[in-house]
Amino acid sequence: MHILVLDTIHGGRDLAWHLEQGAHHVDTVDVYRGREGIGADTAARKSYDLVVAPVHLDPDHPLLGGSTRRISHHDAVRMILGDRAPRPMVEVTGAQGKTTTAHALASVLPGPGVLHTSTGTWLLPERQLLWQRSITPASVLDAAFAARCRDRWLVAEESLGVSGAGNLAVLTSGKDYRVAAGKKSAFAEKLASVRVSPRLLVAPGVVPDHPSFFSADAAVQREGELCRYRWKGIRGSFTSPLFATQAYGTALTLAAAAACELGVDPAGLGQFTALPGRLSVAQEGTVTIIDDANSGTTLATTLEAAGYARRLTGNPALTLIIGEEQRTVCEGFPDADVQEAIRRIRPAQVILVGKEGDYPQVGRIRDALVRAKASTHQGSIVIAVKTWR
């Protein structure tokens, strides 16, 4: 086929390479910068059998018009993998909790595996880093082939949906935001993508249109720090202090349900610890540092991090590092939410990262932390910055 792949900087280049290995003739267009592939005007004058476009591209882009069949980057991944996907393969998507859920599930799966998340692509249990890349759909391909050639399972975090190539998809959140020049619902795009997955696990409260889905709370029940599970002949319980936070509570619940679905006892989740940048805790002298700087940081997670810090220390004194270090995260951290977080938390001190306002401002998290440590002598420091890490 003669295929046009749009958006080289969010995985299109990789998709094109894999499609060319399948004997297709492929053109690419760098729709955002115009630096790679052919020009949009040139592509518009050519005829194609298929157009591959990311779900976040403006639907009114000129190259998306006409009658040529279109598929998403997620669909292209499924097409390229075909029957070569590793087994089991679990795909994790959602507005929040993807990384934590993927790590938690991978921590209890037996045997050798590959874990692909925004923290990197790892061989497990060796904990060997293969590479550090984005979680665009296209990046799943190399992770899948790495797992396949080594006869390993794969747990893969993906942005804005799943490919459907896995045997289980996990939707971690019903939260929504706008994409594609504000013309599409991110949640609707995720729901559309998971419809092709043979089996779907969803967070409590999410009700998708899917012929074979189940909610995590059908398999798992929580009471404080205690988690009980009973699903597909697997039953037991474990306790975790991380259930005190909503973010980890949902992620551990999903991981436990997914493990049961895969025939694995999730009791080992009782030993799972917080990930760096996701409510991880460090102690420096008399000051407790809560690090919640990641791509999923929001008003809600910031409020939770502050509450968590005060519960741990028993001290209301709190320095809040808040903002947005990079502007490449889809939904951003709106100024109104930043101000609302400050108003509701009432910190003793505020340091803004990457935003302008009435408080001291720095460009990077590390600089903010240096300033915070120098001026905070009791209580806690909470880092709540939207960033890729």
How large is the greatest C-alpha to C-alpha distance in the chain, in angstroms? 67
In sequence order, the β-bridge partners of residue 27 are 4
> What's the pLDDT at 296?
80
Q: What gap in Å lies between CA 287 and CA 268, rounded to an integer? A: 31
- The answer to whether the CB of 14 falls within 8 A of the CB of 24 is no
- The answer to whether the CB of 263 falls within 8 A of the CB of 234 is yes
- The answer to whether the CB of 225 falls within 8 A of the CB of 241 is yes
Query: pLDDT for 17-54, tens place per residue?
Result: 999 999 999 999 999 999 999 999 999 999 999 999 99
Q: What gap in Å lies between CA 364 and CA 385, rounded to an integer? A: 10
By C-alpha distance, which of 321, 319, 323 is closest to 356? 323
What percentage of the chain has pLDDT greater than the value 70?
98
Q: What gap in Å lies between CA 187 and CA 169, rounded to an integer? A: 15
Query: pLDDT for 234-263, tens place per residue?
Result: 999 999 999 988 889 999 999 999 999 999
| pLDDT average, residue stretch 106-133 | 96
Q: Element (H or E) spanning 216, and its range?
A: helix 216-219
Q: What gap in Å lies between CA 82 and CA 76, rounded to an integer? A: 10
pLDDT-derived band at 389, boundaries 50, 70, 90: low
| pLDDT average, residue stretch 182-186 | 96
Backbone angles phi, psi at 69, to 5 degrees: -60, 135
Q: What gap in Å lies between CA 117 and CA 132, rounded to an integer? A: 9
Residue 172's identity, in one-letter code, is T
Q: What gap in Å lies between CA 183 and CA 57, rounded to an integer? A: 10
Q: What gap in Å lies between CA 369 and CA 253, rounded to an integer? A: 32
> What's the pLDDT at 346?
97
Query: pLDDT for 194-226, tens place per residue?
Result: 999 999 999 999 999 999 999 999 999 999 999
> What's the pLDDT at 332?
77
Q: What gap in Å lies between CA 181 and CA 68, rounded to an integer? A: 22
> What's the pLDDT at 122?
98
Hey, what are 283's tokens? 């102690």
